[in-house]
Amino acid sequence: MTDTVRLVALSAGLSTPSSTRMLADQLSRAAAAALGRDGAEVEVTTVELREHAHDITDALLTRFPGERLSMVIESVRAADAVIAVTPVFNLGPSGLFKTFFDAIDIEVWNDKPVLLGATAGTARHSLAIDYAIRPLFGYLKAQVVPTAVFAASADLGADTEGQADEQPLAVRVRRAASELATMLRAGIGTTAAPSETSEGPADGAPAGATSTVDAEFSDFVPMGKLLGRG
């Protein structure tokens, strides 16, 4: 892990202020504290996607991000880790959140450590993270922190009463932040993944070397041959 860790927090809240931004700030502070215990300097950049809504829509339609959105994309690309927080609507992320990911290149997220967060009015929406949001980042090939943090209105209301350390939300936030710090200490996300289009052996591998996956399927029989057997 480098001496300076760059975190980008993406908040897809639709109002100002928003519970989504509140959770994003809590996660950012906790992550910075967890990383700071190792002596690392942490730079946190918070992006309100609401402020880029028109640029995101234009980029989705034209496939060309404008200057302001390009700066956001480059900050995500350069980040050591991303904290992504969205409100939940109809058991899924907000349209603004999803459109942002639709509008930028998928390769930006490859092997990127990501801490997920979500907010909603009641706890009954909490499963949306694992059933609707986490699969998106799996498809993007991001390295998702095991613990995702969901906050209902009651969680955030309790936090404003000066009882943050006593609340389950604070416990989840600290655990998720600790897991993110552990991933970064282990170097996850710092090594470029091999290209899927490469047809030869990986650099440094002897010619003719096969992967464990190749060995596992060494007895594979093509469907055409199976159909031809009597």
What are 136-151's pLDDT values in tens digits? 999 999 999 999 999 9
Residues 65 and 146: their CA atoms lie apart, in Å, by: 31
- Is the CB of residue 84 less than 8 Å from the CB of residue 118? no
112 pLDDT exceeds 50? yes
* DSSP-derived 3-state class of residue 131: helix
203 or 182, higher pLDDT: 182
Most confident among 61-75, 158-172, 195-209, 211-225 (mean pLDDT) = 61-75
- Is the CB of residue 89 less than 8 Å from the CB of residue 121? no
In order of their start, the domains of the chain are: 4-185 (3.40.50.360)
pLDDT of residue 187: 87
Residues 192 and 218: their CA atoms lie apart, in Å, by: 28
Residues 6+ apart with CB under 8 A from 159: 22, 26, 167, 169, 170
Q: Beta 81-89 vs 92-93: how paired, if at all?
A: antiparallel
Supply the pTM of this predicted model. Answer: 0.77
Q: How far is CA 72 from CA 60, 108, 141, 184, in A?
A: 15, 12, 20, 22
Residues 159 and 166: their CA atoms lie apart, in Å, by: 9
Q: Beta 41-48 vs 81-89: how paired, if at all?
A: unpaired
Which class for 202: exposed (0-12), middle (13-18), buried (19 or more C-beta within 10 A)? exposed
Averaged over 185-208, what is the pLDDT?
52
Sign of CA dihedral 43, 48, 49, 54: negative
CA angle, 58 then 60 then 62, to 5°: 65
pLDDT of residue 209: 43
Question: DSSP H helical segments within the chain, as ranges?
Answer: 19-36, 53-62, 67-78, 95-103, 128, 134-139, 153-159, 168-185, 212-216, 223-228
DSSP codes of every residue in 135-185: HHHHHTT-EE-S--EEEEHHHHHHHTTT-GGGSHHHHHHHHHHHHHHHHHH
Residues 221 and 215: their CA atoms lie apart, in Å, by: 14
pLDDT of residue 25: 97
